A = this chain, B = another copy of it.
């Protein structure tokens, strides 16, 4: 029996702490080589321009495997549609039966990326966050700030976006949000900064970087994208990546490596920090950076967590 869930049911059932815990466990499993996710697929569409990505995998010994399809069609907003879409499929890893179809329309992909940011901040952000800097003002920017409430007490934020009108509209319940028209200002005013843009050149510059800052960069998830000045990696005390293989290939880290500013052995995976938290931030003065490119294991984890939430909710109302 295949259960099918729509986007609104998925959103209504989500337990953020459970999602963050699942994504944290995903980082751990990934760095322990307990994830089977042999590659991923992509389809590119020329007209209208779009792309679809297919990710799949499972945790060794787990009762399920997951296949995700996520698409971006860049002209969708002209039609009044969101550019992102997609779904996740959960299968029984003992029989192949289709257990559940999560018609999340891209929501769970956004959520797992935001949850990964929360995990990075949990281990790397300073204890006392004065203000949270948000670079970008789209869905991912909102979700990052929304989930950070679970790992910091700070409720002050400063937002910058290329489109000032979007920055002015940016709001997340429970946060006081200030708008700035200078991206450098974000680093000057905030000591926990998240970048969420599709930029193809560095937005945050090392010259604006102050001691005691943590930066999480989630925008550079494929070749050609960049958000951070490579010198930021040279200045950082801890350089974390979700996956060495991916970040060295197409994350922000790749630019710093290519420029010879840092060496591969100077990076650590988030999952290695989760396994041994002493490898995370040691004092309030350190500069730390987390380069996140997105892992199939996070799709696996969020699909299973969302399904558990949905099943618990169905059980509770039955």
Docked Cα-Cα span, A98 to B4, in Å, equals 13
Q: How far is the CB of A104 from chain B (nearest CB, A)?
A: 10
Residues on the B chain within 8 Å of A4, using CB:
4, 101
Residue A93 is within 8 A (CB to CB) of chain B in the complex: yes
A4-B4, A56-B43, A101-B101 given as contacts; is B76 within 8 A of A95 (CB)? yes
Residue A52 is within 8 A (CB to CB) of chain B in the complex: yes
Residue A58 is within 8 A (CB to CB) of chain B in the complex: yes
Stretch at the interface among A81-89, A208-216, A246-254: A81-89
Binary interface encoding of chain A residues 48-70 relative to chain B, with 1 for a CB under 8 A from any of its CBs, else 0: 10101010111000000101010
Stretch at the interface among A33-41, A175-183, A237-245: A33-41
B85 touches A71 (CB 8 A): no
Q: How far is the CB of A292 from chain B (nearest CB, A)?
A: 23
Contact residues, A70-117 vs B (CB, 8 A): 71-73, 76, 79, 81, 84-87, 89, 91, 93-98, 101, 103, 105
Of the candidates B44, B85, B89, B93, which one forms a contact with A87 in the assembled complex, judged by CB atoms under 8 Å apart? B89
Copies of this chain: 2
Residues on the B chain within 8 Å of A96, using CB:
50, 52, 71-73, 76, 84-86
B95 touches A79 (CB 8 A): yes
Residue A42 is within 8 A (CB to CB) of chain B in the complex: yes
Contact residues, A16-46 vs B (CB, 8 A): 36, 38-45
Docked Cα-Cα span, A212 to B96, in Å, equals 42
Residue A2 is within 8 A (CB to CB) of chain B in the complex: yes
Residues on the B chain within 8 Å of A93, using CB:
45, 50
Q: How far is the CB of A100 from chain B (nearest CB, A)?
A: 12
Q: How far is the CB of A30 from chain B (nearest CB, A)?
A: 16
Of the candidates B40, B65, B86, which one forms a contact with A52 in the assembled complex, judged by CB atoms under 8 Å apart? B65
A41-B39, A43-B56, A54-B41 given as contacts; is B67 within 8 A of A95 (CB)? no
B43 touches A57 (CB 8 A): yes
Residues on the B chain within 8 Å of A97, using CB:
81, 85
Q: How far is the CB of A5 from chain B (nearest CB, A)?
A: 11
Docked Cα-Cα span, A73 to B63, in Å, equals 14
A93-B45, A96-B52, A98-B87 given as contacts; is B71 within 8 A of A69 (CB)? no
Docked Cα-Cα span, A98 to B220, in Å, equals 26
Docked Cα-Cα span, A101 to B98, in Å, equals 12
Residues on the B chain within 8 Å of A85, using CB:
95-98
Q: How far is the CB of A75 from chain B (nearest CB, A)?
A: 8
Residues on the B chain within 8 Å of A98, using CB:
69, 85-87, 103, 105
Identity of the chain B residue whose Cβ is nearest the Cβ of A42 in the assembled complex: B38
A-B contact pairs, 23 of them (CB 8 A): A2-B103, A38-B41, A38-B42, A39-B41, A41-B41, A41-B56, A45-B58, A45-B65, A45-B93, A52-B56, A52-B67, A52-B91, A52-B96, A54-B54, A73-B95, A73-B96, A76-B96, A81-B95, A85-B95, A85-B96, A86-B96, A98-B103, A98-B105
